[in-house]
Amino acid sequence: MKNLDFLTPAGVAAGILMIGIAVAWNGGLEGFSSFLHLPSFLIVFGGILAAMLVSFPIRELKRFGRVSVQSFKSSKDNLRETVDLFVHLSEIARKEGILSLEKELAEIHNPFIKRGIYLTIDGVDAETIENILHAEMISLEERHRKGRRMVEKAGDYAPAWGMIGTLIGLILMLKDLNDPASLGPNMAIALLTTFYGVLLANLVFNPMAAKLATSTEKELFTGWVIVEGVIGIHNGQNPRVLEDQLAVYLTGEEMTPGVRNG
């Protein structure tokens, strides 16, 4: 399960705000009009779109919006709660048997944990369970990598198309040097396309890609904890031993007084 992460929009807003303050500081409110130029924006945005169409099949590009939205969300899974859940399940399994865990599944919302417990209840051997769960983790990592790659490529293309716009503006400016009235608009294209490209790359696309990579790493790390917990329950491990085994994955803030860190 994931919740809206306000840090991503807050970070983008903070970057825009700092730029806005700098512009207003030096040029007043009138200075903002100098940074609004539709042709420059169309060169950069249209160029990114065109390059993305060439780079990726349409079935992947359809996922771009959903992938981007994920950078505005964060997992609400808590490792401390995950460890406590496995200790609780282990206690029930030891007292009432593995099959008694089925009634606990309705309270579990993480599909990966449910998958592991179902396999345990079905009597699948530990090695097969581990292989299945590891395969799911590899599949998850690959899906996330493909989605993140689209955002990363958009970050690569943005400054490149900004430079293309700069070259277009310089060519037009050099062509009409005898017409002073054309120098301003052409120079605006030359400079603003670079500005738009660098801004999109370093305030939007690249930070979003980094956020997605961090989210994937967190999910995979939690996945390792879940695999360890499922195998521990399958093997009938003592709840206290299982708790100590899983506690090595916890940070100092996630530890509680009764749990030793390895």
pLDDT 10s digits, 147-179: 999 999 999 999 999 999 898 888 877 777 777
Task: Tell me the helix, strand and coil percentages in the chain, rounded to 5.
Answer: 80, 0, 20
Indicate whether 97 pLDDT > 70: yes
Average pLDDT of the residues in 206-211: 94
Beta carbons of 92 and 99 less than 8 angstroms apart: no
Please tell me the number of Cα atoms within 13 Å of 123 on its side-chain side. 0
> pLDDT (tens digit, 9 = 90+) per residue, 53-62?
999 999 999 9
- Reported confidence tier of residue 6, pLDDT bands at 50, 70, 90: confident
Q: How confident is the model at residue 256 (pLDDT cuts 50, 70, 90)?
A: low
Q: Which residue has the tokens 């120098």?
A: 183
φ, ψ for residue 133, nearest 5 deg: -65, -40
- In this prediction the pTM is 0.82
pLDDT over threshold 70, residue 255 = no
What pairs with residue 75 in β-bridges? 2
Encode pLDDT of 54-87 as tens digits.
Answer: 999 999 999 999 998 888 877 767 888 899 999 9
| Structure-block tokens of residue 209 | 């890609």
Hey, what's the torsion of the CAs at 173, 176, 181, 186, to 10 degrees? -20
